[in-house]
């Protein structure tokens, strides 16, 4: 279980750090500049240090810290950690989350609703999917896991498409934590949903790998269904461009759960600047999981 949980957290961070180099680039631009990117080298639009993570991992850590602060009712604690992160003045807050932060005055649901109005209803971004994995790591009871997953998404994204993606994602995570194989776990959770067609032929999604949560989820599922190793999953995400760091973080989280921390190449896990913090968080989430609450 520890190997899986650490694999999940490092999977998010590695996908983020590798994909951060190519965020917003097209596939053709990436080919021209990097060939096939497979090393964590930093740079890119955020001028990252090699091994530096972005908002995807930072918000995942905030969710984890909120859970650890108050496992019985983590939402407000998660919000405190979101605001703490915001106070560090990160360069890469996504548009929807930035809008919600600007509108927040003590009620996340009110801020999310107002942001929905201000953004013309366009709040189905991938910003809640990218951070929701710690919930599946900490809560083994399905009803609690689902309730917290739903509520954490609604804190910033009022669109049900975002909630739906988080629920499907964490249900797959739950299966992987129980030792299910990857493809059957995905198949069980996307059958009967809008993502079902991805099971048909393994072909790449017709959508762009952008920040719309449905597109992101399509690419995540595609990479997970067709890659044969953790490294292949995160490299594909990074080399696909677009919202590559977030797609890498989301796909990397499930890939890391499945292949385990042992299944992540040391050249990736050792490169993550926050690796000590992720280790400690993983152990603390495991303790919450084993204790129940
Ligand atoms: Mg990012």
Q: What is the CATH number of the domain that holds 43?
A: 1.10.4080.10
Given pLDDT bands bounded at 50, 70 and 90, which one contains residue 258? very high
Residue 221, token pair as written in the block: 């599922």
Residue 1 CA from chain centroid, whole number: 19
The two structure tokens encoding residue 3: 């190997």
Taking the centre of ligand 1 as the mean of its atom positions, its distance from the CA of residue 247, in whole angstroms, is: 9
Q: Is there a contact between 289 and 138 (Cβ–Cβ < 8 Å)?
A: yes
pLDDT score at 115: 96
Tokens of 99: 């809008």
Q: Place 203 in a pLDDT band, splitting at 50, 70 and 90.
A: confident
In this predicted structure, what is the pLDDT of residue 275?
98
Choose among 84, 3, 17: nearest CA to 245: 17
Neighbour-count burial of 52, counting CB atoms closer than 10 A to its CB (0-12 exposed, 13-18 middle, 19+ buried): buried
* Average pLDDT estimate for 190-203: 92
State residue 16's pLDDT score. 98
> What's the chain's average pLDDT?
97
- Ligand 1 centroid to 203 CA: how many Å? 26
Lowest mean pLDDT among 194-208, 217-231, 237-251: 194-208
pLDDT the model gives residue 10: 98
pLDDT confidence band for 20 (50 / 70 / 90): very high
Confidence of residue 200 (pLDDT cuts 50, 70, 90): confident
Q: What is the pLDDT of residue 59?
A: 98
Q: How confident is the model at residue 47 (pLDDT cuts 50, 70, 90)?
A: very high
CA of 90 to the centre of ligand 1 (A): 10
Rounded to 10 degrees, the C-alpha dihedral 213/171/137/73 comes to 80
Cα(245) to ligand 1 centroid in Å equals 5
Distance 226 CA to ligand 1 centre (A): 24
Q: Which two tokens stand for residue 170?
A: 């964490």
Q: Is the dihedral of CA 97, 14, 271, 263 positive or negative?
A: positive
Local confidence band at 201 (pLDDT 50, 70, 90 cut-offs): confident
Output the pLDDT for position 268: 98
Measured between alpha carbons, how far is 210 from 52 in angstroms, rounded to an integer? Answer: 22
Ligand 1 center–CA 23 separation, angstroms: 8
- Cα(56) to centroid(ligand 1), Å: 5
Provide mean pLDDT across the span 57-78: 98
CA 15–ligand 1 middle distance (angstroms):
10
Q: What is the mean pLDDT of residues 264-285?
A: 98
Q: Specify the number of domains making up the chain.
A: 1
Model confidence at 202: pLDDT above 90: no
* CA–centroid distance, residue 98 to ligand 1 (Å): 13
The reported pLDDT for the residue numbered 241 is 96
For residue 58, which of 287, 273, 241, 211 has the smallest C-alpha distance? 273
Instruction: Tell me the average pLDDT across 235-243.
Output: 98
Instruction: Return the pLDDT at 91.
Output: 85
Whole-number pLDDT of residue 237: 98
For 156, the domain range is 2-291
pLDDT at 293 over 90: no
């Amino acid at each position: 279980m520890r190997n899986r949980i650490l694999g999940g957290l490092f999977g998010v961070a590695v996908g983020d750090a590798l994909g951060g180099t190519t965020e917003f680039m097209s596939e053709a631009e990436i080919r021209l500049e990097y060939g096939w990117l497979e090393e964590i080298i930093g740079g890119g639009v955020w001028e990252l240090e090699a091994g530096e993570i972005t908002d995807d991992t930072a918000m995942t850590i905030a969710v984890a810290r909120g859970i650890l602060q108050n496992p019985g009712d983590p939402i407000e604690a998660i919000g405190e950690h979101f605001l703490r992160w915001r106070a560090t003045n990160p360069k890469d807050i996504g548009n929807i989350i930035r809008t919600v932060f600007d509108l927040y005055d003590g009620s996340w649901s009110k801020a999310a609703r107002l942001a929905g109005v201000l953004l013309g209803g366009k709040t189905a971004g991938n910003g809640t999917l990218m951070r929701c994995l710690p919930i599946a790591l900490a809560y083994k009871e399905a009803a609690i896991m689902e309730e917290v997953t739903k509520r954490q998404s609604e804190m910033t994204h009022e669109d049900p498409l975002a909630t739906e993606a988080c629920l499907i994602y964490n249900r797959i995570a739950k299966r992987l934590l129980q030792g299910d194989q990857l493809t059957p776990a995905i198949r069980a959770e996307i059958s009967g949903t809008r993502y079902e067609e991805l099971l048909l032929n393994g072909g790449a999604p017709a959508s762009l790998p952008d920040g719309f949560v449905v597109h992101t989820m399509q690419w995540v599922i595609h990479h997970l269904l067709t890659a044969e190793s953790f490294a292949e999953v995160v490299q594909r995400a990074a080399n696909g461009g677009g919202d590559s760091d977030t797609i890498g973080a989301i796909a990397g989280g499930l890939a890391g759960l499945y292949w385990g921390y042992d299944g992540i190449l040391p050249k990736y896990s050792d490169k993550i600047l926050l690796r000590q913090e992720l280790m400690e968080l993983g152990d603390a989430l495991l303790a919450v999981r084993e204790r129940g609450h």
